[in-house]
Chain A
Amino acid sequence: MTDLMLALRNLATKEGYAPVSLKNVLKALFETGHEFPFTGYTRKLRRELGLSEIPPLTISSPKALEEVQKLTKIARGSRFWKSSEMKK
């Protein structure tokens, strides 16, 4: 049942039907590699906790972000859309 719902929601999204709030999550992920931004307060807090201000993640690496964006663009071309998992 969950696989069926997953497939239906994916199809609905391809047709343009998805809640704006959820589309915004995808937008943030595409633009930064993450769902939550690192604010000034976050950086200060992290420093006070003895952590690096920004961890060495996609958010701090243009090359990593380029990889995430490239994969997202190619994946949406549906090369494996018809693969066995999605046929189930």
Chain B
Amino acid sequence: MPREPALLRASGADLLGPVPTARTRFLRGFLPWQLLRFLAINLRMLRMIRLSHPHVRPPAP
């Protein structure tokens, strides 16, 4: 029987992904911290939007 190609496996002990720590999981639902993160994420998004604004070219005659 042919072996299944290793890269097609959807799960397995050899696939290592980042796992959140207990502290991270707690902070994800800790409202005072999330309020700060809400402000921080919004500021980052606004900065990104400002940089993404379409550039204006001078009109061609």
Do A and B share a complex? no
Footprint of A on B, CB under 8 Å? none
